[in-house]
Amino acid sequence: MDRQLFDDAIGEVPPSTVDVDAVIVRSRRAVRLHRVANPAVAAGVAVVVLTGAVAYTLTSGDGGGTPLGGSPGTTSTGSPSPTTREQPAGTKESEPSITGMEDKAPPPQCEGRLESAAEAAARLTLATTAAVKAQRPDLELSSNPAGDYPPGTPHGPLGYHQVRATGPGADLSICDPMATFEASATTTAADGSGNIFVLLQPTWHDGLGPVCDFPGLGTRTSCVAQTGPRGEEIVKQTADMGDGITMNQVLVHREDGTKILVQAENIGTSGKIGGAPTASRPPLTLDQLVAIGVDPALTMFPG
């Protein structure tokens, strides 16, 4: 997608704080899949963000203690009670602006020994599958056609692949700001089919910005900021994506140098493609997504 087209389309918008280069990846993929995307502009640079929600960054809060995660009717993983900050429901979202990464540094973990992109993808696929199954063991996972990258190249359920802002090509360092790791799956259970999407990248900012204070795509119906069991900064959002499609989304900024976006929708492909919902609700609740996002195995920097 040409950046100038985004500039022309959205004009002037208020500032916020978001990783630019790593998120630009989604704009190109969004065009290829004919998805509804969320453009943003800063210093002449526009980006499209994930599934109608910006990969914003959010200020941290103080911790406390209730369980995080757990499928409906099951025992969930214990964690400190979160400090929360609500956004009024029904807020109509629009496209925020973002700042660049010129003055940002990679996390210190990038200075150590790094896995190759292939090693990281294989490890994260196993870790994410296990984390999802821990929350909903009844879910059957299959490849999601909306997750092809490059176009026409399918990936297995929750099969991670490096997505590059420069387009398909040779693998980059896992700490390259022009690359992210993404995975998706179609879920099938007795209550219908849905989808899961996960994006991981190093944290290029000291913390998350005030996500709940900024708009995004679609109609946000809730937004809560809280602190996780290991000091993680967490934002939980729900959004009405239209045509009966609901999205649950969690953004996690972790102390181990990893930032994760995890989301679930009640459509078997993707709400960005459109279509009718295939279940009454997303396959994973917000707290289940949090449990996945804070799972120690889902890190860019193991060991």
Q: Where are the domains of the chain?
A: 3-52, 103-293
Q: Are 183 and 161 in contact (CB under 8 A)?
A: yes
DSSP assignment of 26-75 equals HHHHHHHTT---EEEEETTEEEEEGGGS--B-B---------B---TTS-
pLDDT, residue 210, reads: 85
pLDDT band at 209 (very low <50, low <70, confident <90, very high): confident
Q: Compare 63 and 190 and report the one with higher pLDDT.
A: 190
Q: Are 96 and 56 in contact (CB under 8 A)?
A: yes
- pLDDT of residue 300 exceeding 60, the answer is yes
pLDDT band at 213 (very low <50, low <70, confident <90, very high): confident
Distance CA 33, CA 153 (A): 12
Compute the half-sphere exposure of residue 133: CA atoms within 13 Å on the CB side of its CA.
11
Peptide bond into 150 cis (omega under 30): yes
pLDDT, residue 166, reads: 86
What is the residue whose two structure tokens read 């925020």?
A: 96
- pLDDT of residue 52 exceeding 90, the answer is no
Q: Compare 17 and 189 and report the one with higher pLDDT.
A: 189
pLDDT, residue 274, reads: 85
Q: Measured at the alpha carbon of residue 159, what is the angle toward residues 157 and 161, in degrees to the nearest 5?
A: 145
pLDDT band at 104 (very low <50, low <70, confident <90, very high): confident
- For 151, the 3-state DSSP assignment is coil
- Mean pLDDT is lowest, of 15-24, 53-62, 185-194, 234-243, for 53-62
Mean pLDDT of 174-198: 97
pLDDT, residue 105, reads: 83
Q: Compare 25 and 6 and report the one with higher pLDDT.
A: 25
Phi then psi for residue 19, to 5 deg, are -65, 130
Q: Is the whole model's pTM more than 0.85, yes or no?
A: no
pLDDT, residue 282, reads: 98
Distance CA 77, CA 80 (A): 10
The overall average pLDDT reported for the chain is 74
- Mean pLDDT is lowest, of 157-161, 192-196, 216-220, 263-267, for 216-220
117-163 per-position pLDDT tens digit: 999 999 999 999 999 999 999 999 999 999 999 888 999 999 999 99
- pLDDT of residue 4 exceeding 60, the answer is no
Tokens of 256: 């181990």
Q: Are 269 and 187 in contact (CB under 8 A)?
A: no
Distance CA 74, CA 181 (A): 30
Phi then psi for residue 73, to 5 deg, are 80, 10
237-286 per-position pLDDT tens digit: 999 999 999 999 999 999 999 999 999 999 999 988 889 999 999 999 99
Between the alpha carbon of residue 121 and those of residues 91, 184, 189, 204, 283, the distances in Å are 36, 13, 26, 20, 23
Mean pLDDT of 188-194: 97
- pLDDT of residue 14 exceeding 70, the answer is no
Mean pLDDT of 184-200: 97
Q: Are 258 and 270 in contact (CB under 8 A)?
A: no
